[in-house]
Amino acid sequence: MKEKGIIKKTTKTVSDGADQILNQLKNGLSKIGDLGSSTKNKFTDYVKDIFNVLPLLEKAGFRTNRLIVGVSIPPSVEIHFSRFKEIDKEKTDILCEEYKDKKMFKLILKSLLMSNDFQSKLSSENLVFTETCIEISIPPKVSIKYLNKDIANFNKLEADFD
C-alpha cells in the first residue's frame, strides 16, 4: 500500500516538472516571437557585421567552415574556422592596424590566435585537431575541436574522391 503512495507522489512530481518545463519553453518561444523590429534589426546588423569580417579573417589565415545563427534570447552566432596558412606576427599586426576600426575583426582574430596558440601546445596519439569554434553570445565561448585520427583520415579520403 505504501508503494502505491510513493508511485503516485513520484508520478505527480514528474508530471508537475514536465508541465513546468513546457510552460518555460512556451514562455521562451513567445519571447522570441515578440522581439521588436528594432531588436531584430540590431541583431541582423550584428550578423551582417560578422559576415563582413569573414573575408578579412581569411587574410589572417583562418577559413570559415560554417556559420550558425542562433535565434534565441540572447541571440548567438557560432563560427567554425580552420587555419589554412600561418602568417607571422608582423603581418598580423599590419592587418590589425589596417582594420583597427573593425571591432568584430579584432575580437574574433584575437580569439582565434589565442586558441591557435593554446591548441599548438596540445597533442594526442588518437585525436587530430580539426577546427576552432567561436560562439559569440553571452557568455562568449571558444572551443577547440578534435576528431579521431581514423575518422579524420576517412573524411580526407572521401574529400579526395569528390
Work out whether the CA dihedral 137, 146, 106, 66 comes out positive or negative: negative
The residue extents of the domains of the chain are 1-34, 37-161
Helices (H), the chain: 2-33, 37-59, 89-98, 103-120, 149-161
Share of the chain above pLDDT 70, in %: 71
Which cell is 1 given?
500500500
Greatest CA separation for the chain: 78
Coil vs helix vs strand at 91:
helix
Q: Mean pLDDT across the stretch 81-88? A: 92
**Bridge partners, residue 148, by sequence:** 127
- The predicted-structure confidence for 102-129, as pLDDT tens digits, reads as follows 999 999 999 999 999 988 888 788 888 8
- Whether the CB-CB separation of 50 and 67 falls below 8 Å is answered with yes
Alpha carbon 19 to its chain's center: 31
- The predicted-structure confidence for 39-74, as pLDDT tens digits, reads as follows 777 888 888 899 999 999 999 999 999 999 988 777
The rounded mean pLDDT for the chain is 79
Residue 33 has pLDDT above 90, yes or no: no
pLDDT at 62: 95
Q: Is the pTM of this model over 0.85?
A: no
pLDDT at 29: 45
